[in-house]
């Protein structure tokens, strides 16, 4: 397992390099530059700025300079946030985004597995139909519709929670964004758990456990839950990707100072280094999550370890 972990970490390096290379040349292929929207700047000032940041050099020279900076942990300066480097912006926004995503995914996993198990054990009953309805609603309602609706009900009408903004140390500002982010993966996890649990409960060893007179709680927790979680764990990497994508919209609407707003704003302002820095962070998180999923699958299913 340790050898597999090391090999996967080493394989992540060329993957990140390919992502950086493709993203770098795609961004620079778009017409215009980061200072083209400044109408008040004269042509000479724009040329001086391009020379200052090396934008007047050939693209391959800019690429090699950028890679050299990355080797030293330097993401470069931000073209629009001129008082900050990209690394400083990442350090400011990453804790907020990580906290938001971690709470949302944890809630989605716990609630989704619980709802899926309950629906499987009460198949074709009211609880099962309610779980299916929740899953359909979670998939069908987009975040840019759900969050304003929650803001209107809980923030404007009831005045229980803040509509937008951020105050460090106050969890009230996280409640509505977390609910909005966790609902889509919760719906998928609940449906996967339900289908997997129904299949496992019909297997031979579970029927043998019932024949021995074991209580339902013991059968579910000790015998059925572990194999039933295999497809759920396999879905966690796409779920994290979905949560990251949704956080771009949620952070913008909720006014949270996460890195999602920097990616959106950087793309609109053609802030090359800022966009590349956000892409690298998101890609590294997804690669790390994929590795953790593989290791968890190996712990849940011994056949995965043997195949590796």
Q: What is the rounded average pLDDT of the residues 10-27?
A: 86
- The answer to whether residues 264 and 252 touch, using CB atoms and an 8 Å cutoff, is yes
Domain-located, residue 161: yes
Q: Report the distance separating Cα 243 and Cα 181, nearest Å.
A: 6
Q: Report the distance separating Cα 160 and Cα 146, nearest Å.
A: 17
Task: Identify the domain containing residue 147 by its residue range.
Answer: 93-268
pLDDT one-digit tens code per residue, 131-188? 888 778 877 888 888 888 888 888 888 888 888 877 777 788 888 999 988 888 898 8
Alpha-carbon torsion, ordered 250, 78, 96, 143, to 10 deg: 10
Q: What is the rounded average pLDDT of the residues 255-263?
A: 82
Highest mean pLDDT among 4-18, 194-208, 232-246: 194-208
Domain-located, residue 168: yes
Burial class (CB in 10 A: 0-12, 13-18, 19+), 188: buried
Residue 101 has pLDDT above 80, yes or no: yes
pLDDT one-digit tens code per residue, 47-73? 777 777 777 778 888 888 888 888 888
Q: Report how far apart, in Å, the C-alpha atoms of 205 and of each of 195, 209, 297 are.
A: 18, 6, 21
Domain-located, residue 85: no
* pLDDT grade for 306, boundaries at 50, 70 and 90: very low
pLDDT of residue 9: 76
Domain-located, residue 61: no
Q: Report the distance separating Cα 60 and Cα 188, nearest Å.
A: 43
DSSP three-state, residue 290 = helix
Which DSSP string do the residues of 231-243 spell out, in sequence order? Answer: HHHHHHHHHHHHH
In whole numbers, what is the pLDDT of the chain averaged over residues? Answer: 82
List the beta strands (DSSP E) in the chain: none
Q: Report the distance separating Cα 33 and Cα 306, nearest Å.
A: 52
Domain-located, residue 50: no
pLDDT of residue 110: 92
Q: Considering its fold, how many domains does the chain have in total?
A: 1
Domain-located, residue 181: yes
Domain-located, residue 199: yes
> What's the pTM?
0.80
Which DSSP string do the residues of 244-276 spell out, in sequence order? Answer: HHHHHHHHHHHT--SHHHHHHHHHHHT-HHHHH
CATH of the domain at 193: 1.10.3720.10
């Amino acid at each position: 397992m340790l050898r597999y972990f090391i090999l996967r970490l080493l394989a992540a390096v060329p993957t990140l390099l390919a992502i950086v290379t493709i993203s770098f040349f795609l961004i620079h292929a778009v017409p215009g530059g980061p200072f083209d929207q400044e109408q008040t700047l004269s042509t000479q000032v724009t040329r001086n700025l391009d020379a200052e940041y090396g934008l007047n050099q050939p693209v391959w020279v800019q690429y090699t300079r950028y890679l050299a900076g990355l080797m030293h942990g330097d993401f470069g300066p931000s073209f629009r946030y001129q008082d900050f480097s990209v690394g400083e912006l990442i350090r400011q926004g990453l804790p907020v985004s990580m906290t938001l995503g971690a709470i949302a995914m944890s809630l989605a996993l716990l609630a989704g597995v619980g709802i899926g198990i309950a629906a499987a054990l009460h198949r074709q009953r009211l609880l099962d139909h309610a779980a299916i309805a929740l899953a359909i609603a979670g998939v069908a309602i987009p975040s840019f519709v759900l969050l304003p609706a929650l803001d209107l009900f809980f923030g404007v009408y009831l005045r229980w929670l803040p509509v937008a903004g951020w105050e460090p140390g106050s969890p009230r500002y996280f409640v509505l964004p977390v609910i909005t982010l966790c609902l889509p993966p919760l719906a998928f996890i609940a449906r996967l758990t339900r289908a997997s649990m129904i299949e496992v409960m019909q297997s031979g060893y579970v029927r043998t456990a019932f024949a021995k007179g074991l209580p339902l709680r013991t059968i579910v927790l000790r015998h059925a839950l572990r194999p039933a979680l295999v497809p759920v764990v396999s879905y966690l990497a796409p779920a994290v990707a979905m949560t990251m994508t949704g956080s771009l919209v949620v952070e913008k609407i909720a006014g949270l100072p996460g890195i999602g707003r920097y990616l959106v704003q950087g793309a609109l302002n053609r802030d090359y280094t800022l966009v590349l820095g956000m892409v690298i962070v998101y890609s590294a998180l997804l690669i790390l999550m994929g590795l953790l999923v593989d290791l968890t699958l190996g712990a849940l299913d011994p056949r995965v370890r043997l195949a590796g």
